[in-house]
Amino acid sequence: MPDSQRPGDRDAEAPRPAGGARLAPGARALRTTTRMVEAAYAIHQQDAWIAQDVRFMGSLFIQGTLPHLDPGDVREYTRVNGRHKLSIQAGLDLGLPYGSYPRLILIWLTTEVVQTGSREVYLGSSLAAFMRELGLSPTGGRSGTIGRFKDQAHRLFRSRIMTSYSNERETGYAGETEPGEYESMEVARKTKTWWDPGETLETSVVVGEGLFEQLTKHPVPIDMRVLREIKQSALALDLYTWVTYRLDRLARSATPGRPVVVSWKQLAGQFGTDAQEHYHFAADAKKALAKLKVIWPELSYETPRGRLVLHPGKPHVQRGPADKVAE
């Protein structure tokens, strides 16, 4: 699979110079690395809370993620992480949300409900302004970002989330275990968006009640300045939120000095990969981690054969005084 079709790269705009022509691959890589180094310096100089760049992601969407690439004509997509299972069901006459755009929207939704305590969140006066708030550049035309973003937002808001947790206790019947928790949640109970007929102002989303409870009960703090640098890759977004989440859990565990060891196969099953991506997953994940290391120099990990070893360290964003962090 060529690099341009690797996970999460299809729905994000490539950097362009002032003249509008695309940069050569080498120049683009240099410019991206330079920008990330500058961002890392800014992050080191000022805490995310002071910079007012703290955002949140629900741990529900870290333990299991959305597809990286278009899964095609599939009505339901499932990820498994140990006893935890997350499924997303497509809305009527729509495909499943995928890529980095719905992930950025979910981060925005989580942040809004955590900060306001309200199920109804307001999107702003225009689609372009909303995209800019997410760190995206709104562009029109056939290959522009606006059409793709609108499509992914539509898919996400119309989808349904199912989550289950098995306690794996034997029921007494051969081959059966006692079922654990199960919940089915709509992403949005109601939407008023810019593309709805007659809707231009006061656009809003009413988050489903079950999802609202999940997002406000288990938010993971992350840094918007990092998100701006990795927004082009769904895999990098998944890894950044997952590493932050696992380091926080590790620090509060009974064995805070023990590293987290997970196989690439386990991570691929948890993240939004498909059968084709599994073959490249370890290589793609290593590239994404290397980029994260540029903007997060304190991140300590190893990649011995077949697995990722994440060494203890501080989460990228420390918990605030009133911050409810995911368990």
pLDDT tens digits for 155-205? 999 999 999 987 765 444 444 445 578 899 999 999 988 776 555 567 899
Residues paired with 162 in a beta bridge: 87, 184
Number of structural domains (the chain) is 1
The answer to whether 147 touches 136, Cβ cutoff 8 Å, is no
Per-residue 3-state assignment (H helix, E strand, C coil) for the chain:
CCHHHCCCCCCCCCCCCCCCCCCCHHHHHHHHHHHHHHHHHHHHHCCCCCCCCEEEEECHHHHCCCCCCCCCCCCEEEEEECCEEEEEECCCCCCCCCCHHHHHHHHHHHHHHHHHCCCEEEEECCHHHHHHHCCCCCCCCCCCHHHHHHHHHHHHHCCEEEEEECCCEECCCCCCEECCEEEEEECEEEEECCCCCCCCCCEEEEECHHHHHHHHHCEEEEEHHHHHHHCCCHHHHHHHHHHHHHHHHHHCCCCCCCCEEEEHHHHHHHCCCCHHHHCCHHHHHHHHHHHHHHHCCCCCEECCCCEEEECCCCCCCCCCCCCCCCC
Q: Extract the tokens encoding 302.
A: 């190893």
Is 326 among the domain residues? no
Q: Average of pLDDT values for 21-29?
A: 65
User: In this predicted structure, what is the pLDDT of residue 26?
Assistant: 66
Query: Minimal CA–CA distance to 276: which of 72, 82, 88?
Result: 72
Sheet with 260-263: list strands edge to edge. 260-263, 307-310, 301-302
Backbone φ/ψ region at 137: left (φ over 0), alpha (ψ -120 to 50), beta:
beta
Query: Minimal CA–CA distance to 163: which of 216, 219, 85?
Result: 85
CB neighbour list of residue 223: distance below 8 Å, 6 or more residues apart: 43, 48, 53, 54, 55, 316, 317
pLDDT tens digits for 272-288? 787 566 678 999 999 99
Is 59 among the domain residues? yes
Whether residue 32 has pLDDT greater than 90: no
CB neighbour list of residue 18: distance below 8 Å, 6 or more residues apart: none
pLDDT tens digits for 33-73? 888 899 899 999 999 999 999 999 999 999 999 999 999 99
Q: Which domain holds residue 251?
A: 3-13+23-310
Is 315 among the domain residues? no
User: In this predicted structure, what is the pLDDT of residue 126?
Assistant: 85
pLDDT tens digits for 65-105? 999 999 999 999 999 888 889 999 999 889 999 999 999 99
Euclidean distance between CA atoms 296 and 147, whole angstroms: 32
Whether residue 215 has pLDDT greater than 60: yes
Is 83 among the domain residues? yes
The answer to whether 32 touches 236, Cβ cutoff 8 Å, is no
Is 319 among the domain residues? no
User: In this predicted structure, what is the pLDDT of residue 275?
Assistant: 57
Is 323 among the domain residues? no
The answer to whether 68 touches 277, Cβ cutoff 8 Å, is yes
User: In this predicted structure, what is the pLDDT of residue 218?
Assistant: 85
pLDDT tens digits for 229-275? 999 999 999 999 999 999 999 998 989 999 999 999 999 989 978 75
User: In this predicted structure, what is the pLDDT of residue 278?
Assistant: 67
Is 213 among the domain residues? yes
Is 93 among the domain residues? yes
